[in-house]
Amino acid sequence: MKSDTAVRDEVRAHYAESANAVATGAGRACDCRSPGAGRADDGDVFAGELYEGLDREGLPDSAILASLGCGNPTAVADLREGETVLDLGSGGGIDVLLSAKRVGPGGKVYGLDMTEEMLALALENKRKAGATNVEFLKGYIEDIPLPANTIDVVISNCVINLSTDKPVVFAEMARVLRTGGRVGIADIVAEDDLTPDQRAEWGSYVGCIAGALSFSEYEEGLRAAGFVDVSITPTHQAAEGVHSAIVKATKGEAPVAGRRVDLPVVQQACC
């Protein structure tokens, strides 16, 4: 069984390779979380297609090529002028740059990523886009390097499933959000009757299947962290019994004190 550190290192290596492929012109980032994918390890799919119909004016091609998400959180987060936004696992920066256009010069968007290569690519995309209300941070989504009660909206695109300690991620989201702050996330979620072992059989951790929570586990984890008005809406099938989904929630008046949900940690001996 892989340790949490080994899983994190595997994820980092995977996304570093994808960033280098885009930065060097060797190809576009490959992943498998967009519509039409079968098993999580089958082939490469251009996740940029999930942004069809959006205004791409001012977005560098490399930001679009580096898109590895399973959805488009900026389309559902209802971002408003002047808001402060945090993107967990910001990658090449496409969601950060789109959010920056929506919140305007009076707003601010932070992108958080642990992979040096992705951060370098994101910073270059920021420069090309001329975005002045954007800041990229290096760090882990389990330990967000921002003060409490400073964020209006947390977005994320198919990243939380990669964490091996999701209760801590949910608690960190609640910590940095202001009361009444919102969550607009695209993620991979498993059907409730799919066991953790079955999720591991269906796909790898870096393919976003092995670490997926079930619908009920995801909702319970968010509510335990103090979120209310939780909704999880499947959008398309990513693998058998596993779906890309839009997750929405609002930070309540006060978190549920002393309550932690022990969500499953799925690890693999291979892949």
Q: 73-95: per-residue pLDDT in tens?
A: 777 788 999 999 999 999 889 89
pLDDT at 10: 65
Angle at CA of residue 21, ends 17 and 22, nearest 5°: 125
pLDDT at 247: 96
pLDDT at 77: 84
Flag whether pLDDT at 155 surpasses 60: yes
Under 8 Å between Cβ of 85 and 173: no
| Non-local CB neighbours of 151 within 8 Å, separated by 6+ positions | 84, 85, 86, 110, 176, 177, 178, 181
pLDDT at 96: 94
Flag whether pLDDT at 222 surpasses 70: yes
Task: Give the whole-angstrom CA distance, residue 213 versus residue 196.
Answer: 8
Enumerate the β-bridge partners of residue 111. 87, 136
Task: Report which of 209, 174, 200 is spatially closest to residue 269, judged by C-alpha positions.
Answer: 200
Q: At what angle do helices 166-176 and 215-224 cross, to 10 degrees?
A: 40
Task: Give the whole-angstrom CA distance, residue 192 versus residue 217.
Answer: 8
pLDDT at 230: 98
| Non-local CB neighbours of 145 within 8 Å, separated by 6+ positions | 112, 137, 139
pLDDT at 63: 53
Flag whether pLDDT at 265 surpasses 50: no
| Band (6; pLDDT cuts 50, 70, 90) | low
Task: Give the whole-angstrom CA distance, residue 67 versus residue 77.
Answer: 18
* Average of per-residue pLDDT across 253-267: 51
Task: Give the whole-angstrom CA distance, residue 98 versus residue 54.
Answer: 9
Higher pLDDT, 62 or 249: 249
Flag whether pLDDT at 34 surpasses 50: no
Q: 179-214: per-residue pLDDT in tens?
A: 999 999 999 899 998 877 776 665 444 444 567 899
All structural domains of the chain, each given as residue ranges with its CATH number in brackets, are: 4-251 (3.40.50.150)
Higher pLDDT, 156 or 30: 156
